[in-house]
Structure 1
Amino acid sequence: MLARRTHLFTNSGTARARAAAKAAAEAGRDVVDLTTGEIWSPLPPAVRDGAIAAIERGINRYTDTLGLAELRAALAHKLHVETQQAWRPDEIAVTSGAKQALFNAAMILIDPGDEVVIPSPYWTTFPAQVLIAGGTPVFVETRHRAFIPSIDDIERSLTSRTRALVVNTPNNPTGAVYPGELLAQIAELAIARDFWIIFDECYSSFVYESHVHHPIVSLVPEVRSRTLVVNAFSKALALTGWRIGYLAGSKEAIDAVRALQSHTTSNPNVIAQHAVLEHLRRNDASFESGLRSDLAAARRIGLEKLKRIPGIPTPRADGGFYFYLDVTSLLRTDGADPAPTIDDIVGRLVTEAGVAGVAGSAFGDPGGLRISYGGPRESFELGLDRLISAFETWDAAADLVM
C-alpha cells in the first residue's frame, strides 16, 4: 500500500500529452508533435565548450550542495544586472532545473493547511507541488481578463491561511506578460498581508513587441525579503535535458534550501554547472539573441495562420513560445448530448489530423489548447496547417460529439 500523498497528484498533464504523441507515432501514425515545452536548437557554443573542457579535465566529483561557488557568484552578477540590486552568492541555490527550485520553495515555505494562491490557467506542476507539501492551492481565474489577473481578484482570494502567491510571467501556458503596474500592486499586497511571492520567470528571455518583463524585486525592492525568484537555463539556452536552474532569495531561505537539497539530490550535475558557467563567463548574448529572433519569426508566421480559424480568437502570445487557443466555440453543442470536452478535441486532432497539442484541462482550464512553436520550423508549420484545416472542417459542434 502506497503513501496517501500519492493520491494527491498524477503524472504531469504536459508529460502525458508528450507521451500520447510519442505513442501515436510509434503505432505508425503520422503525428506532428506540438506539445513540446522546449526549443529545438543546437547547443550554445560556450555551453558545449564548457562541458567538453570539464570532461577533459576529469571533473566528476561532488560540488557544494548549492552549486559551484564560481557559478553562484556569476548568477549573483546576472541577477544584479537584471534587477539592478546587489545579490550575494549565499542568496543563490543552483538546482536540478526549475522544477527542483520550485519544489525547494514549496518545501521550505508551506506547512500543512497553508494556502497558496495560483492564477489559472496554471502550469500543472504548481498545484501538484503545493499538495505534496501539504498545502492547499487556491485558484484565481484569469480567462475573463485575457489571462491577466486583477489585483482585486487576488486580494479576494486571500485568507488568514494564505502563505504564498505564485507569479509566473511570462506565463505558461497562456503567454501573458504581467504589466509592471500589476506586479508592483502584488508586491505591495504581499508586504501588507504578509505572504511570500514565488516568482517564476523561466520564460523571461522571450517577450515580444512592446511587452517588457519586469523582475518584481526591481519594482518594489522592499518585497525582496519575502520573494523567491525561480529561473533556469532550460528555455533561455534550450537546455531542457541538462537540468540546470536556480533559486534566489534571502540567506535564511537559501540556508533552508541547502539543508533540504542535501537530503534530496545534493548538488546539480557537475558538467552542466561548468558548461553554464563558461557561457556566463563569456558574456556573449549572440546565441540568446538568435534564439529569440527565430522564435519571433515562428510566432509571426503562426499568428498569421491562426487568424484564419473561424470562431477562435487570436491568442495573446506576448511571451514564451506557446499559442494558447480559446476553443470554447468548439465545445458548444446547442443541446446535443454528450457535450465534447477539450480532451475529446485533442484526441481527435491526433487521430484525424495528425497533430498533437496539450489540452487546457492539464492547466485547470476546460476550454484551452496549448501548442508550441519551439520545435523545428517545418514541422511547426505543417502541424499548424493540419490543426487549422481540422478546425475549419469542424464547422458544427455536432461534428465533435463522440
Structure 2
Amino acid sequence: MLAQRTALLNSSHTAAAWTAITAAAASADQIIDLSAEEIQCELAPMVREGAMIAINRNMDQNTLTSDPTGLRKAIARKLSAETDQHWSADEVAVTGGSSPALFNVAMVLLDPGDEVLIPAPHWTAFPAQVLLIGGTPIFIETRHNNYVPELTDLASAVTSKTKAIVVNTPNNPTGSIYNRDTLAGIAQLAIERDLWIVFDECYGAFAHAPYHHLPIVSVSPRARARTLIVNSFSKSLALAGWRIGYLAGPEPAIRAIRALQSHTTYNPDAIAQHALLHHLESADGGFQLKLQRHAADARTLGLSILSTLRSIPQPAAEGGFHFYLDLSGWYRRVKGPGPEFDADEVANVLLMEAGIATASGTVFGDPTGIRLSYGVDLILLEKALRRLTVTLNTWK
C-alpha cells in the first residue's frame, strides 16, 4: 500500500516527451526536439577546467556543513552585484538545482491547508510541490493579460489561508517578463497581507531587448525580508545535467532550509560545486554572452517563421528561450462537427505527422497552449518551425 501522496505524482512533461520521441522515432525520418528546458551547447570552458582541477585534486568530500568550496560566498557576491544590495553566505543555500530548492521552500514555509497563489500557465513543479506538502495551489489566470497576472486578480484571491505568492519571471512556459510596476505591486501586496514571495528567476539571464529582468528585491527592498530567491545554473550556463542551483533569502529561512537539506539531499555534487566556483571566480562572461546571442538569434529567426501562422498570435518571447503559442483562436478556426480536442492532441499530431516534439500546455495548466524551445541548433529550429507552420496552417 503506497502513501496517499503518491497519487499526486506524475512524471514530468520532459520525461513524457522523451518517451513519446522514442516511440515515434521508428516511424519518422527525424524527430526534432523542441520540448526541452535547456540550451544545447558545449560545456562552459571554465566549468570544464574547474571540474578537472577538482577531480585531479580529489576534492570530492561532502560540503554541506562547512562549505569548503566557498561557493556560497561566491553566489552572495554574484547576488550583491545583481541586486545592488549586500548579501552574505549565510543568506545562501546551494541546492541540487531549482526543483529541490522549491521543494525545500515548500517544506519550510507551508503547513497543511496553506494556500499559495500561482499565476497560470505555470511550471509544473509549482503546484505539485504545494500539494505534496498538503497545501492548496490557487491558480491566477493570466492569458487575458499577455500572461502577466493582474494585481487586482492576485489581491482578490488572497484569503486568511494564503501564505505565499509564486513569481516566475522570465516565465516558464510563456516567456513573459514582469515589468517594474507589476513587481512593485506584488511586493506591496505581500507586505500588506504578510505573505512570502517565492521569486523564481531561473531564466533571468535571458531577457531580450527591449525587455529587462528585474529582481523583485531591487524593485522593492522592503520585500527582501519575505522573499526567497530561486535560481539555477541549468539555464544561464547550460548545466542542466549538473543539477546545481541556489536559494537566497532571510537568514532564518535559509538556516531552516540547510537543516532540512542535511536530512534529505545533504549537498549537491561536490565536483559540480568546485567547477562552478572556478567559473564564477575565473570566467570573463564570454560564455554567457555567447548563449544569450544564440538565444537572441534563434528568437529572431523563430518569430519570423511563426509570423506566417494563421489565427495564432505572435508569441511575445520576452525572456527565456521558449515560444508559447496561444491556440485558442486557431481552435475556433479549425473546429468542426467532430469531438473537442486540446493541446495534447495537437502535440501528438506535431510529433507523429511533422516530426516535432513539443510541450503541451496541459502540463502547465493550459489546454490551449503549446511550448516550443528555441535553445536548439538554428538549422534544426528553422526546419522544425517550418514543418509546424505548414501542419497547423493546413489542419482540417
Q: Post-superposition shift, 1:29? A: 5.2
* Residue of structure 1 in register with 2:205 after alignment: 205
CA contact (8 A) 1:67 1:94 kept: no
Instruction: Please say if 1:377 is aligned against 2:378.
Output: yes
- The aligned amino acid for 1:389 is V
Q: Percent identity?
A: 52
Q: Post-superposition shift, 1:9? A: 2.5
Q: Post-superposition shift, 1:15? A: 2.8
Q: Post-superposition shift, 1:274? A: 0.5
When normalised by structure 1's length, the TM-score is 0.96
C-alpha offsets along residues 294-352 of structure 1, whole Å, 9 cap, x if unaligned? Answer: 11001000000000011110001000000000112343365623112111111111111
* Residue of structure 1 in register with 2:138 after alignment: 138
Counterparts of residues 29-178 of structure 1 (less than 5 Å): 30-65=30-65, 67-68=67-68, 70-178=70-178
Rounded to whole Å, the distance in 1 between the matches of 2:336 and 2:75 is 57
C-alpha offsets along residues 68-118 of structure 1, whole Å, 9 cap, x if unaligned? Answer: 451100000000000111111011000000111111101100100000000
Rounded to whole Å, the distance in 2 between the matches of 1:375 and 1:335 is 35
Rounded to whole Å, the distance in 2 between the matches of 1:38 and 1:355 is 16
Q: Secondary structure at the match of 1:259?
A: helix
Gap change, CA 1:252 and 1:25, over 3 Å in 2:
same
CA contact (8 A) 1:69 1:89 kept: no
Rounded to whole Å, the distance in 2 between the matches of 1:136 and 1:381 is 41
* Residue of structure 2 in register with 1:285 after alignment: 285
Gap change, CA 1:246 and 1:62, over 3 Å in 2:
same
Rounded to whole Å, the distance in 2 between the matches of 1:339 and 1:62 is 54
C-alpha offsets along residues 5-51 of structure 1, whole Å, 9 cap, x if unaligned? Answer: 01123112233123312332256653111101110111111000000
* Residue of structure 2 in register with 1:346 after alignment: 347
Rounded to whole Å, the distance in 2 between the matches of 1:65 and 1:374 is 36
Q: Secondary structure at the match of 2:287?
A: helix
Gap change, CA 1:334 and 1:285, over 3 Å in 2:
closer
Rounded to whole Å, the distance in 1 between the matches of 2:355 and 2:343 is 16
CA contact (8 A) 1:331 1:339 kept: no
- The aligned amino acid for 2:151 is I
Gap change, CA 1:186 and 1:197, over 3 Å in 2:
same
Gap change, CA 1:161 and 1:278, over 3 Å in 2:
same
Rounded to whole Å, the distance in 1 between the matches of 2:86 and 2:260 is 25
* Residue of structure 2 in register with 1:355 after alignment: 356
* Residue of structure 2 in register with 1:196 after alignment: 196
Q: Post-superposition shift, 1:378? A: 1.6
Instruction: Please say if 1:312 is aligned against 2:298.
Output: no
Rounded to whole Å, the distance in 2 between the matches of 1:71 and 1:27 is 47
Q: Secondary structure at the match of 1:140?
A: strand
Q: Provide structure 1 residue ranges, at least 5 long, that are not aligned to the other structure.
A: none
Q: Mean Cα displacement is larger for which, 355-364 or 282-291?
A: 282-291
Rounded to whole Å, the distance in 2 between the matches of 1:336 and 1:238 is 46
Q: Provide structure 2 residue ranges, at least 5 long, that are not aligned to the other structure.
A: none
Q: Mean Cα displacement is larger for which, 64-73 or 7-16?
A: 64-73
- The aligned amino acid for 1:167 is V
Rounded to whole Å, the distance in 2 between the matches of 1:49 and 1:31 is 33
C-alpha offsets along residues 349-400 of structure 1, whole Å, 9 cap, x if unaligned? Answer: 1111111111110100011000000012221111111111101211xxxx3x
Rounded to whole Å, the distance in 2 between the matches of 1:390 and 1:191 is 48
* Residue of structure 2 in register with 1:257 after alignment: 257
Task: Say what the alpha-carbon RMSD is for the aligned residues.
Answer: 1.3
Rounded to whole Å, the distance in 2 between the matches of 1:254 and 1:221 is 18
Q: Post-superposition shift, 1:261? A: 0.3
Rounded to whole Å, the distance in 2 between the matches of 1:204 and 1:163 is 25
Q: Secondary structure at the match of 2:174?
A: coil
Count of equivalent residues: 395
Q: Mean Cα displacement is larger for which, 276-285 or 260-269?
A: 276-285
Rounded to whole Å, the distance in 2 between the matches of 1:120 and 1:350 is 25
Q: Secondary structure at the match of 1:139?
A: strand
Which runs of structure 1 show a deviation greater than 6 angstroms over 4 or more consecutive aligned residues? none
Q: Secondary structure at the match of 1:35?
A: coil
Rounded to whole Å, the distance in 1 between the matches of 2:273 and 2:20 is 32
Rounded to whole Å, the distance in 2 between the matches of 1:215 and 1:87 is 14
- The aligned amino acid for 2:104 is N
Rounded to whole Å, the distance in 2 between the matches of 1:358 and 1:334 is 22
